[in-house]
């Protein structure tokens, strides 16, 4: 009966490197969301998956950001050529289906040096 | 798109007193309003939510009220306890667009 699991919990990397963040949603939850939480911007929506498709990716800040979901379960968020402004906590949430309450993981704290 | 404003940004309350946090939203199509509690180093935890066909909802010491006409909703915590100290976020969404739009958060401190 585990909640949403995210890994790694912390990631420090050098500017220009690529990073992959992973989210394991609650079992049986078909909807999955990525958000970003930073000091200046609060909690911002990035992308929403229903099953393996992403009907709303309007929050991805640039083409350096991409996400995929396979098997209707695990999702990875990839940031290419990281910049210092990418430093933030990346949060994943899941729900039984779209429009249902979203339950969050504890996030990945990403620091770009 | 939707815009959610939240007030106050910080709130200090004596233990045992009530706390009220208020949010306003801009899009009249929004129909779902959750509240989250976030403790240091943790993800947001859903504490209560309300849909637009309901004016008020209670769960023990926590209640949420919604005024659709004025487009505002509020969180009420009664008989506050030290463990209520955290950052609280309101949010809004509508069924045709599943994403949550969050307020900027309220840091609630309960003074023993």
Per-residue pLDDT tens over the stretch A38-92: 986 789 999 999 999 998 999 999 999 999 999 989 999 999 999 999 999 999 9
- Distance in angstroms between the alpha carbons of the first and the last residue of chain A: 36
**Spatial separation of the C-alpha atoms in residues B89 and B104, rounded to whole Å:** 7
Average pLDDT over all residues of chain B: 95
Find, in chain B, the residue whose alpha carbon is nearest to that of A59: B99
Q: Check: CB of residue B4 under 8 Å from CB of residue B23.
A: yes
pLDDT 10s digits, B55-91? 999 999 999 999 999 999 999 999 999 999 999 999 9
A105 vs B41: CB contact, 8 Å cut-off? Answer: no
- Exposure string for A72-82, b = 16+ CB within 10 A, e = fewer: bbebebebeeb
Q: What is the pLDDT of residue A98?
A: 73
Q: How confident is the model at residue B95 (pLDDT cuts 50, 70, 90)?
A: low
**Spatial separation of the C-alpha atoms in residues A109 and A27, rounded to whole Å:** 24
Residues in chain A with CB shorter than 8 Å from the CB of B105 are 42-43
**Spatial separation of the C-alpha atoms in residues A7 and A21, rounded to whole Å:** 6
B44 vs A104: CB contact, 8 Å cut-off? Answer: yes
Average pLDDT over all residues of chain A: 94
**Spatial separation of the C-alpha atoms in residues B103 and B35, rounded to whole Å:** 10
Q: How confident is the model at residue B5 (pLDDT cuts 50, 70, 90)?
A: very high
Q: How confident is the model at residue A1 (pLDDT cuts 50, 70, 90)?
A: low
Q: What is the mean pLDDT of residues B90-108?
A: 88
Asked whether the predicted pLDDT for residue B97 surpasses 60, the reply is no
Q: What is the pLDDT of residue B94?
A: 85
Q: Does A101 touch chain B (CB under 8 A)?
A: yes
Q: How many CA atoms does the CB half-sphere of A108 hold within 13 Å?
A: 26
Find, in chain A, the residue whose alpha carbon is nearest to that of B40: A106
**Spatial separation of the C-alpha atoms in residues B29 and B46, rounded to whole Å:** 22
């Amino acid at each position: 009966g585990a909640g949403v699991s995210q890994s790694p919990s912390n990631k420090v990397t050098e500017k220009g490197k690529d990073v992959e963040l992973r989210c394991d949603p609650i079992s049986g939850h078909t909807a999955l969301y990525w958000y970003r939480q930073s000091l200046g911007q609060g909690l911002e929506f990035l992308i929403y998956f229903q099953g393996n498709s992403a009907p709303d990716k309007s929050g991805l800040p640039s083409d350096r950001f991409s996400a995929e979901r396979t098997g209707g379960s695990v999702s990875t968020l990839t940031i290419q050529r990281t910049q210092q402004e990418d430093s933030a906590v990346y949060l994943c949430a899941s729900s039984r289906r779209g429009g249902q309450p979203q339950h969050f993981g504890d996030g990945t704290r990403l620091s770009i040096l | 798109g939707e815009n959610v404003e939240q007030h106050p940004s910080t709130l200090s309350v004596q233990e045992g007193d009530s706390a009220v946090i208020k949010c306003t939203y801009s899009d009249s199509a929004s129909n779902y309003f959750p509240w989250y509690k976030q403790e240091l180093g943790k993800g947001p935890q859903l504490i209560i939510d309300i849909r637009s066909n309901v004016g008020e909802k209670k769960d023990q010491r926590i209640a949420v009220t919604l005024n659709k006409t004025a487009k505002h909703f509020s969180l009420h915590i009664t008989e506050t306890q030290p463990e209520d100290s955290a950052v609280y976020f309101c949010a809004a969404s509508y069924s045709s667009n599943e994403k949550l739009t969050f307020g900027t958060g309220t840091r609630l401190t309960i003074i023993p």
